[in-house]
Amino acid sequence: MEKLFQQLNKAIMDSLQEGEYLSLGYGGENSNFTRINAAKVRQIGNVDEADLTFNFILNGRRCSGGISLSGDAEEDLNRSLTELGRLRAEVVQLPEDPYLVLPDSTDTSTNVKHGDLPDSEEIPAKLLPAMGSADLTGIWASGRIYQGSANSAGGYHWFATDSFSLDYSLITPAEKMVKATFAGTHWDQEAYTGFLADSVNKLKLMSLPPRKIEPGSYRTYIASAGISDILSMFSWGGVSEAAIRQSESCLGKMRNESKKLSELFTLSEDFSSGFAPRFNGNGEVAPEKTVLIDKGELINTLVSSRTAKEYNIESNYASGDEGLRAPVMRAGSLKEADVLKALGTGVYLSNLHYLNWSDMIGGRITGMTRYACFWVEDGEIVAPIENMRFDDSIYSFLGENLEQVTDTTHVNPDVGTYDGRELNAVICPGVLLKSFALTL
């Protein structure tokens, strides 16, 4: 794959004319997807795909494009040159783009990580027998992911990694569920069997008769997986500098009205875990770590070079949408073993579901509790709860109502596959809240 990208890159860049600037992006994957329902195979298949994106600049004007690659070098070069012709014909018709940034990064990097994955045909036999009689529904995804970037200034990056994930729900006959993800780069059958047995054990807690709780404000613990969903909301009308400047961010109040979150809340963009590449679509390499919210104070945002040019500020080489690619929330001091005791009487939430801004500018998020969620009394789990809707502001629950943060961060891999398999992960601890608003 890298050879094809190198060949295309050279031929396309060689064909550029005076005054033309170009960035190329390569994305591809060879994946197996095995969809499981009731511990049986519902759907199975492989997908081999690759595409090449173009960001073309001439005379202060810019347009972009993308094509599918067939894997045949000659055919793909033809498609690429046709696409370049289309971009040339279009760019002269467009208005000038005052915020465009010429590709000038000459950085290069190659990062290829090899794993040890089962062959696609072996996957059903490796996964399913261990599930036994459990009612397990979920998705296995495995294979190689490729990302490349190159530009007319000579910048070049290549990233490839093997990975697998089995993201699943275990379900009791009374329809109570627990969720887990077994992910990695080297398949280990024994580790898998142990991991699965551990979640089957957790499911036993769910067989207690459920309790219905009334809407109201409760002392609440949200575990790492739930907090990872909250942190993902910061990528949508959150830490983007452009969103803040354009009145489309929940953090506008922090910038404009000196609002603060709790001193216990520190959020960074931190690539040191190595899940995602540091280069963006323009081939620019982000700093290894940027602290965004430091002890409750907004000290940095994600700034793309385009935003930097528009507002005359400095870029930190964020992606075009200025979303988090490597979010990490700092751990606190509450020992995980002491969570129930510290919670006392209240609600323990393992996972959240379907979050949305109910008032983005006000920082208010609504969503559902899901999976293993419990009513706790005097530090003891009493019963699983019926799913509840919450609706509360980050300025409350990550502000004055944030009581403690656990001392351990967990890796929550992004198992999303809308735009191909994701590489990112959210790394965060759990939080104990003095009060959290459950509304329905």
Partner 1 sequence: MDLQAILSSIDVKADWVGLRYVKENTGFRLVRDGKPEANTRESKQGIMVEVLVNGQFAYYGTSRLDSAGIQAAAERAVKLADAASKFSLHSFGVEARPVAKGSYRSPYQTPADAFSPGELSELLVKATSELKVSDKIVNTNAMARTVETESHFVSSNGSDVEQQYLMISADYSAIAHEGGVTQKRTDGGLLAKSYQAGMEVFNEADVLARCRNIGAEAVELLTADECPTGTMDLLLAPDQMMLQIHESVGHALEIDRILGDERNYAGWSFVRLDDFGKLQYGSDLMNITFDPFVENQFASYAYDDGGLKAEKEFLIKNGLLLRGLGGMESQLRSGINGVANFRASSWNRAPIDRMANLNLEAGDSSYDEIIGSVEKGVFMTSNRSWSIDDYRNKFQFGCEYGKLIENGKITRTVKNPNYRAISNPFWRSLKKVGNKDTFEIYGTPFCGKGEPNQIIRVGHASPLCLFDKVEIFGGA
Q: Report if residue 47 touches partner 1, rule: CB under 8 A.
A: yes
- Pick one of 366, 377, 399, 408: the residue that binds partner 1 (CB under 8 A): 366
Compute CA distances 276 → 50, 104, 113, 322, whole Å.
Answer: 18, 22, 12, 15
Residue ranges in 92-158 assigned as alpha helix (H): 123-127
Q: Report the residue number, 48 or 288, with the smaller CB distance to partner 1.
A: 48
Q: Is 139 in the site for partner 1 (CB under 8 A)?
A: yes
Binding span for partner 1 by CB under 8 A among 92-100, 195-203, 265-273, 274-282 = 92-100
When asked if residue 189 is in the footprint of partner 1 (CB under 8 A), the reply is no
- Closer residue to partner 1 in complex, CB, 209/418: 418
- Taking residue 78's Cβ as centre, other Cβ atoms within 10 Å add up to 12
How is residue 66 written in tokens? 């993308």
- Count Cβ atoms within 10 A of the Cβ of residue 305 and give its class: 0-12 exposed, 13-18 middle, 19 or more buried: buried
From 164, 181, 159, 167, select the one nearest 117 (Cα to Cα): 164
Q: Which stretch binds partner 1 (CB under 8 A): 153-161, 327-335, 366-374, 397-405?
A: 366-374
Using CB under 8 A, pick the residue from 132, 274, 344, 416 that binds partner 1: 416
For residue 416, give the nearest of 93, 167, 196 by alpha carbon. Answer: 167
Q: Binding partner 1 by CB under 8 A: which of 177, 227, 398, 427?
A: 177
| By the rule CB under 8 A, 62 interacts with partner 1 | yes
User: Which residue stretch of 101-109, 119-127, 261-269, 277-285 sits at the interface with partner 1 (rule: CB under 8 A)?
Assistant: 119-127
Least spacing, CB of residue 288 vs partner 1, in Å: 29
How many CB atoms are closer than 10 A to CB 45?
10
What tokens were used for 206? Answer: 């769910």
Question: Does 217 interact with partner 1 (rule: CB under 8 A)?
Answer: no
Q: Kindly give the interhelix angle for 2-14 and 73-91, rounded to the nearest 10 degrees.
A: 40
Please pick, from the candidates 116, 198, 263, 359, the single residue that binds partner 1 as defined by CB under 8 A. Answer: 359
Enumerate the β-bridge partners of residue 51: 27, 68
209, two tokens: 């008769």
Residue 123 vs 426, nearer CB to partner 1: 123
Piece in contact with partner 1 (CB under 8 A), picked from 3-11, 271-279, 414-422, 426-434: 414-422
Q: Which residues have C-beta within 8 Å of that of residue 215, sequence separation ≥ 6?
A: 388, 438, 439, 440
Q: Give yes or no for residue 246 binding partner 1 (CB under 8 A).
A: yes
Are 165 and 127 within 8 A, CB to CB?
no
Pick from 16, 73, 81, 361 the residue near partner 1 by CB under 8 A.
361
Taking the complex as a whole, the smallest distance from the CB of residue 344 to partner 1 amounts, in Å, to 27
Binding test (CB under 8 A) with partner 1, winner from 353, 377, 399, 434: 353
